[in-house]
Amino acid sequence: MWLKPVPSCFSMLKPYCSATPPPPTTLKFITAMKTTEEPDVGIFCYISQLPGFRGILKQRYSDFMVNEVDTEGNVVHLTNLDAPAETVKEIETKTHDATSKDYTTEIESFRSLVDPDDAEQLEAIINQINSGSEDSILPIVLSPDYDKSHRTAVHNFFKENFKFLVTDTVDGPDASSKCIRVRINSGGQNSKGRNSRKRKERGDKPFDSRGSDDWSENVGKFLRFHLYKENKDTQEALGIIAKMLGIQPRSFGFAGTKDKRAVTTQRVTVFKQLASRLAALNDRLIGIKVGDFCYVKEGLVLGQLLGNRFTITLRGVVADSEDTIKASALALGKQGFINYFGLQRFGSGSVPTHLIGATLLRGEWKSTVSLFLDPREGEKNAITEAREYYKETNDIEGTLRRLPRHLVSEKAILQCLKKCPGNYLQALKAIPRTLRMMYVHSYQSYLWNHAASMRVQKYGTDRVVLGDLVYCKGNETEKVSEVVSSECVDENGNDTLDPIDLDDISGTNLPEERLNLVKVSCVQAVTAEDILSGNYTIDDVVLPMPGSRVIFPENDIAHVFHDLAKKDAISLTESVHNVKEFSITSMTGSYRRVFQKPMDFEWEILKYIDGNKPLVDTDFDKIAKTKSSGLNEDGRLHDKTKQSECLDNDIGLQTDDNGAKVKGEELPQAESLCDTNPQETQTALKLSFTLPASCYATMAIRELLKTSTSVAFHKTLN
């Protein structure tokens, strides 16, 4: 029997100080270090002492499904791709003077002013206008332009040569860039048109509010829809939709980001867009679908969700017996798991986010910039070459041309250094706020994980002890506190978002008005009287995310926070610099439950032969299946699909990011794992459960399997 019982955390737990980060001076070591593993960030313990078993997490991205749970407790599904009968009318008068005129000369002049791709975009939109198909013309967005004087020249060029078009400036892909947007001037030649209103007239709104006078008053000004996506993160999917609609990505509102390597469904709102326009995109979208449209009065903001419903399929399961699998599943449902921050919280690169957070907290601005820009191990060749080029030449312009667009932080830093050489603090502030705050929050999570491990190691998992922190019984803010427990806000209550691979995080922050409910008064230390009375159970125990408004446990666990931070030359009570956003003492802090039980927990052992065949229907699979079998009278899907049909379901071909047809997401099946012929019957374990906001589903899977959740480990299984 190759499968050995996993020892309890009490025998395997290393001292919490053994996983401290390297000294701040050893930058060479930091940039060359291996991928972050669980012990590096304080993840050591398990609740149960049951033996684990082998199973592959995310062999296919469809093995990990996430459906948002809205504030009313409803699980969000994609059920209908069609737009409802429109009750909204946009009033526009289309006038232009482009018909039948040859603009070859003007386009050639424009080509000398901008990138070739931009000239081709302009030529295409003019050809559309001349062909008489202006009804379907979407705005175009030119390449990022960092030079204000050049942007002015482009605006003037359009005013002089293309009076039937109007331009404005929108935010670019990073903090320092702007883009020029071009669209038909619906106001005509002699009118400034509704599209030309100045930004200051619109106010500082998080969406494009132009055109508000041309919208039916009796209909909500926000279109809400369900976004279904496969193997794409939320920002990427909305960026694609925004580009196709000709609007800014910030026009969308959502309650929380969903991970990339998964199939997810969530609610999204967009300001003043017709459902018919979005529904028309479905035929062109690859790996993305939108549907279930309705108009609402308010847009979504971060945190407006109760959590997420997860459907996770572990493939290639091998255990000493089926009873082992059943016992572990039953224990997970009954006892839950340690509510660690998962590895996703600390990034997937060779420079963990909590190490960057530590340098920020110490005020080492130049060292932090080096951590962002220096060469790293394990990256794609193009990125490595760009980093090495900058290190050798210091050529900012050349490096910016070489860096991929998705490296937002690096590009923002370089753009700022180009304008303000040597001003490293300003360069760090050029990173979008939601990104730059992630690093400090990551360090708080690092401290919390170590404290949670020590709490389990020292006091166990079955009883409350003297000095533990608990939510006050009967406190109306308890539920709210639980939801925001993993995120911190600054003194102004600004909510933040963790944009790293939010693989399995069940939510993000709550809006400001609800965050203000989280106060120290809702948490207290357990007294001897509390223990005698039995008022509190282990499920009530919380630990703080360090900040200025939290209290620490009144037992030995408090020392974990302070001692570990001290080893990193960081104080949790006073700051060494006056930059508030990079200081724990300027943040409120919050609390997080140490133990979490999955809600509405269900599990099922499945048998399969073909490893490339889906075992569970996605929302889109159910739509496709129902269309072939018939719809309800109202055109919507039947409410229930028998899960037993999943084994016999061959949904057919998936599509990759390039639109090519591929049969699923084929990954090799390791014989050493399954010890069986790929054509023989194999075992899978399907789990369905709901978690509140900010809990990590992979930590539940870790408790079940008693193995690491790291990507590197599961690659070895594949």
Q: Does 530 qualify as catalytic in the annotation?
A: no
Catalytic site residue from 40, 118, 259, 621: 259
Pairwise CA distance, residues 691 & 506, whole Å? 6
152-171 b/e with 16+ CB inside 10 Å = b?
A: eebbebbeeebebbbbbbbe
Q: 183 φ, ψ to 5°? A: -155, 170
Closest CA to 515 of 539, 472, 486: 486
Is residue 184 within 8 Å of residue 96, measured between CB atoms? Answer: yes
**How many other β-carbons are positioned within 10 Å of the β-carbon of residue 355?**
27
Q: Within 13 Å, how many C-alpha atoms sit on residue 60's CB side?
A: 24
Give whole-number Cα distances, 416 to 344, 409, 426, 497, in Å.
Answer: 28, 11, 7, 23
Pairwise CA distance, residues 141 & 150, whole Å? 15
Is residue 226 within 8 Å of residue 273, measured between CB atoms? Answer: no
What are the residues facing 56 on neighbouring strands?
315
Q: Please list, in sequence order, all residues whose beta carbon lies within 8 angstroms of the beta carbon of residue 560, skipping any fewer than 6 positions away.
A: 16, 447, 450, 451, 454
SS (H, E, C) 248-270: CHHHEEECCCCCCCCEEEEEEEE
Backbone region of residue 56 per phi and psi (left: phi > 0; alpha: psi in -120 to 50; beta: other values): beta
Pairwise CA distance, residues 301 & 624, whole Å? 31
What are the residues facing 458 on neighbouring strands?
none
Is residue 21 within 8 Å of residue 355, measured between CB atoms? Answer: yes
Give whole-number Cα distances, 103 to 124, 126, 162, 180, 567, in Å.
Answer: 12, 8, 9, 20, 67
Pairwise CA distance, residues 632 & 642, whole Å? 17
Is residue 412 within 8 Å of residue 174, measured between CB atoms? Answer: yes
DSSP 693-713: TT-BHHHHHHHHH-S---HHH
Is residue 615 within 8 Å of residue 686, measured between CB atoms? Answer: yes
Which residues are catalytically annotated? Answer: 259
